[in-house]
Amino acid sequence: MATVTLKNNGNQPIYCNLPGGGSLKIPARSFIEVEEEALISNEIAIHRSRGNITVIKTAAASEAKPEPKPGVGSKPSERAKDEKGGEV
């Protein structure tokens, strides 16, 4: 399961009931990491639509993208050039 970082934009803490009987407290003006399944909660959806909560990042999305390796992806038609700009 992926984790999502939420930010409370308000000056008051937000309390949300989660599906399955759990609850969530987001302190005022702070960040919290929750499981992606918590985003399906009706109360979180309401707070997101009002702008009280902002989704900052999804950890799985950043892990899914591999970082490009140096030298990979360069054009094969490019040739090495010496210091004066001539081809080697």
Rounded Cα distance, 44 and 84, in Å: 61
> What pLDDT score was predicted for residue 87?
65
> What pLDDT score was predicted for residue 8?
97
Characterize the bridge pairing of strands 3-8 and 31-35. Answer: antiparallel
Q: Which residues of the chain fall short of a pLDDT of 50?
A: none
pTM tops 0.85: no
